[in-house]
Amino acid sequence: MDRSSGDGRLASEGESAAGTVDLVGRSRKLEGVSFGAILDGSAESCVQWATPDGLELVGRGVAARFRAGGPDRFDRIRSQAGRAFDGLEHEGPPAARPRAFGGFSFHDGHEAAPPWTGFDAASFVVPQVLVARTDDGTWLTAVGPGEDEAADRLEDWHERLAALPAMRPSGSTPGVAATRRTTSPADWSTQVETALERIADGRLRKVVLAQALSVDLEGPVDVPATLERLRRQYPNCYRFLVGHEIGGTFFGAPPERLVSKRGDRVETEALAGSVPRGETPAEDDEHVDRMRADAKFQHEHGLVVDAIREQLAPLASELTVSEQTIRRLATIQHLQTPIEARLAGDRHVLEIVEALHPTPAVGGVPPDAAWETIRETEAFDRGWYAAPVGWFDADGDGEFAVAIRSGIAADGAVTLFAGNGIVADSDPAEEWDEVQLKFRPILDELRSRPNR
């Protein structure tokens, strides 16, 4: 793994905006409110998170911030958060509790250079204002460094939100002026051939190689509105947005759960192996039958299942690997294997995140050789692509997705990312086609289209 060039200095600079004062959260029930409208015009830090099973969260402002760099960034975030959450006092239902939102870079040695300005190797915020849409209604939570501040903020935002429209138009798309690839088809073939040689000589069994596509926009992009449109096309995916005050906005609609932890229960999955959707249900099934029967796809998928099993086993008292199923998305279909565990002891979700990242669905096997191949062959910075993004709370519970089918909007452009698993017998041209399908969800939403 890339354990060499991490910037450990950030860890000691990690601050809580609350300083030594204990954080206080106050919640109140809300009538319907448009999530997009809450973020409108915000130059503050903002976050949005939605799961396939219906939880939706949106937050803005910074009550506390945790930042870290280097290989031990998972631990450092955990200890900074431990200090800030230690004295947390929250009045409201558990669904509305304060949480920390953010994510990690794919590589340990990540530098926050454009388009990733503002995105440290690990960075989380506890928003000052959080709105949670749950089965139990919609809740506003204000967080501050003391009771009075939290109560005043709650009052202020309750009034502001009451004045906002409950529905917001879905907005026009920005339009695409031009696209630029980091990787030409010829370069891609060379990269895949390099990986195949390493597989043939036994150094490597699988590596996920990725590409970036830089999209120049005709007009400004409204990321919350783009996410809202993605909800319609990709209802069974996560949706996330992390917007930085001094940089861009990272967002996406990933289908892949890295981990969900509640108490001692952990859910994760292997998601690897891709075929296109067909024109008809029968064609969809033909693609799926081919994928299920194909030794290459099963090998590629099996490596991910085995690695997750091995990564979780030391932490678990029980581990259940379910039957393989199919994940059918708007443009693509994947092999999926749900995996559940009961934890052996008291663990923080970030410990599970650290143990699992990167699964071979985005890294490879063995991890070090895959890491080396990625660093030597890919011609762009992965930044936060394919890394954990999500939230955790004061109890160490939380949920993280793998930030694939994602892009970063910064300086009038959106840079999209997509990759594919390479194993023995992979064909560069087929892999190229599969990667292009993975750019589609966001690219399609950026193209010009009349208002809907």
Ligand X SMILES: C=C(O[C@H]1C=CC=C(C(=O)O)[C@@H]1O)C(=O)O
Q: What's the number of CA atoms in the CB half-sphere (13 Å) around residue 156?
A: 11
Query: Which parts of 171-230 interact with ligand X (CB under 6 A)?
Result: 208, 210
Separation between Cα atoms, residue 72 and residue 11, nearest integer Å: 9
**Residue 274 near ligand X by CB under 6 A:** yes
Question: Does 303 contact ligand X by CB under 6 A?
Answer: no
Of 260, 191, 251, nearest in space to 226 by CA: 251
Note if 147 is an active site residue. no
CA dihedral over 34, 40, 46, 50, signed as positive or negative: positive
Question: Which amino acid belongs to residue 62?
Answer: V
Q: Which listed residue (29, 44, 228, 256) is catalytic?
A: 256
- State the number of CA atoms in the 13 A half-sphere of 283 facing the CB: 7
Cβ of residue 181: shortest distance to ligand X, in angstroms? 15
Considering only residues 126, 253, 272, 369, which one is a binding residue for ligand X as defined by CB under 6 A? 272
- Cα separations (Å) of 74 from 8, 66, 246, 320, 355? 12, 11, 23, 26, 10
Tell me, residue by residue from 350 to 389, as one string, x for binding to ligand X by CB under 6 A and - for no binding: -----------xx-----------------------x---
Confirm or reject binding of residue 416 to ligand X (CB under 6 A): no
CB 33 within 8 A of CB 138: yes
Set 29, 31, 159, 206: catalytic member:
206
In the complex with ligand X, which residue's Cβ is closer, 397 or 431? Answer: 431
Under the binding rule (CB under 6 A), the answer on residue 420 touching ligand X is yes
A 10 A CB-CB count for 2 gives 16
Stretch 388-407: interaction string toward ligand X, x if CB under 6 A: ----------------xx--
Q: Are 128 and 164 in contact (CB under 8 A)?
A: no
**Cα 21 to chain center, whole Å?**
31
Helix ranges, 248-366 (H):
281-293, 295-312, 349-356
Q: Is 256 in the site for ligand X (CB under 6 A)?
A: yes
The reply to whether 287 sits near ligand X by the rule CB under 6 A is no
Choice between 224 and 419, CB closer to ligand X: 419
Work out whether 441 is an interface residue with ligand X (CB under 6 A). no
Give one word for 248, left, alpha or beta, with left for phi > 0 and alpha for psi -120 to 50.
beta
438 is catalytic: no
Whichever of 123 and 420 has its CB closer to ligand X, that residue is 420
By beta-carbon proximity to ligand X, the closer residue of 390 and 419 is: 419
Task: Please report whether residue 153 would count as binding ligand X according to CB under 6 A.
Answer: no
271 belongs to the binding site for ligand X (CB under 6 A): yes
Check binding of 438 to ligand X (CB under 6 A): yes
Q: Does 107 bind ligand X (CB under 6 A)?
A: no
Stated as kind and residue range, the H or E segment containing 159 is: helix 147-162
Catalytic residue numbers, as ranges: 206, 256
Residues that bind ligand X (CB under 6 A): 208, 210, 256, 271-274, 334, 361-362, 386, 404-405, 418-421, 438
